[in-house]
């Protein structure tokens, strides 16, 4: 089983109440890849500029992430800078320089077309659909999106969702996409657009997963402090798809477990800037925190007769 991810690679400058990072390794495809690499072999498709530090590529290669789909373009790498206040649910973007990412048109190498699990990180929905069509017969296609595309490329996004199995977005995006304030009704409307499964990230409140037959509510891990929420959503997606790619069956049981693995990886990621916490992470830490999630949400049944 192999996992393909297509998305941004960035140099992020981030300020939070706990400190700052300057031009640190970031981007959706990077966070996703690193998190998924704890579970399986990852293939990354993205673009960097000629200024991209070699040490970042070495870090990813050291995780057995296949970079043969990485385009090296003339020009500067995508840069994002932002600030978080004490309400760490909301990023205040200070500056975005798309640079080489602006004209990114992902080409999937022939050797990646047999990928079983595909994650389309947040890029233009038309490009997402184009990628989906370049993969031969994936078992699971999951994708992310954002308010910018919901507002500016709605029809194209809906077309893309028709080709997607799992949509992973936050609650505000779910409500906006479905044009419906009730999240339960919004979920049903979104599943009518194509995805069999909708995963709704609720930041510090956890995650809701909807399919046609059930709803699953995963708690958030009660951290004392969130040092830097950058990349939490893509790290979630990486843990989610990473675990799912190891499951014997893709069903309600394994998708629930995947949600908790995603939450686990994301809870570690926000404990430090950039990928710093994930770099120190071992599989034993992940399994230990997964068990903590179990304890966190456990309560006894009531005997009825």
User: Applying CB under 8 A, which residues contact a second copy?
Assistant: 86-87, 181-185, 202, 204-206, 208, 214-220, 222-225, 253, 256-257, 259-260, 287, 290-291, 294-302, 304
- Nearer Cβ to a second copy, position 23 or 83? 83
- Nearer Cβ to a second copy, position 69 or 206? 206
Listed in sequence order, the residues at least 6 apart from 291 whose beta carbon sits closer than 8 Å to its beta carbon are: none
- Nearer Cβ to a second copy, position 60 or 186? 186
State in angstroms the smallest separation of the CB of 221 from a second copy. 9
Taking a C-beta distance cutoff of 8 angstroms, is the pair 98, 78 a contact? yes
Distances 152 to 57, 124, 200, 247 between C-alpha atoms, Å? 33, 10, 21, 36
Q: Pinpoint the alpha helices (H) of the chain.
A: 28-36, 54-61, 125-134, 147-152, 154-161, 171-178, 183-192, 232-244, 252-269, 276-279, 283-296
C-alpha to C-alpha distance for 82 and 60, rounded to whole angstroms = 24
- Nearer Cβ to a second copy, position 54 or 303? 303
- Nearer Cβ to a second copy, position 121 or 232? 232
State in angstroms the smallest separation of the CB of 148 from a second copy. 23
State in angstroms the smallest separation of the CB of 217 from a second copy. 3
Q: Which two tokens mark 250?
A: 């893709």
The phi and psi torsions of 214 (rounded to 5 degrees) equal: -160, 165
State in angstroms the smallest separation of the CB of 40 from a second copy. 15
Sign of the Cα torsion 86, 89, 95, 99 reads positive
State in angstroms the smallest separation of the CB of 41 from a second copy. 20
Taking a C-beta distance cutoff of 8 angstroms, is the pair 243, 220 a contact? no
State in angstroms the smallest separation of the CB of 82 from a second copy. 19
Element (H, E) at 210: strand 207-210
- Nearer Cβ to a second copy, position 1 or 215? 215
Query: Hey, what's the torsion of the CAs at 284, 288, 290, 294, to 10 degrees?
Result: 160
């Amino acid at each position: 089983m192999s996992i393909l991810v297509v998305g941004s690679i960035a140099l992020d400058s981030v300020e939070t109440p706990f400190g700052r990072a300057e031009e640190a390794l970031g981007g959706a495809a990077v966070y996703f890849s690193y998190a998924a690499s704890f579970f399986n072999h990852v293939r990354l498709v993205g673009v960097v500029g000629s200024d991209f530090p070699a040490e970042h590529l070495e870090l990813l290669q050291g995780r057995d992430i296949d970079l043969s789909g990485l385009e090296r373009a003339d020009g500067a790498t995508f840069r994002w800078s932002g600030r978080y206040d004490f309400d760490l649910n909301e990023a205040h973007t200070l500056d975005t320089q798309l640079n080489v990412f602006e004209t990114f048109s992902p080409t999937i190498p022939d050797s990646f077309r047999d990928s079983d699990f595909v994650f389309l990180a947040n890029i233009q929905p038309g490009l997402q659909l184009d990628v989906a069509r370049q993969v031969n017969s994936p078992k699971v296609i999951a994708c992310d999106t954002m308010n910018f595309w919901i507002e500016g490329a709605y029809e194209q996004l809906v077309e893309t969702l028709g080709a997607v199995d799992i949509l992973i977005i936050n609650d505000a995006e779910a409500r906006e996409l479905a044009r419906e304030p009730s999240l339960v009704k919004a979920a049903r409307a979104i599943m009518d657009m194509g995805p069999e499964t909708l995963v709704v990230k609720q930041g510090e409140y956890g995650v809701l997963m909807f399919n046609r037959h059930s709803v699953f509510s995963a708690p958030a891990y009660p951290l004392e402090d969130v040092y830097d929420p950058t990349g939490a959503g893509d790290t979630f997606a990486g843990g989610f798809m990473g675990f799912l790619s190891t499951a014997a069956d893709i069903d309600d049981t394994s998708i629930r477990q995947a949600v908790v693995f995603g939450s686990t990886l994301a809870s570690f990621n926000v404990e430090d800037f950039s990928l710093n916490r994930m770099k120190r992470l071992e599989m034993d830490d992940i399994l230990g925190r997964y068990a903590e999630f179990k304890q966190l949400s456990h309560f006894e049944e009531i005997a009825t007769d």
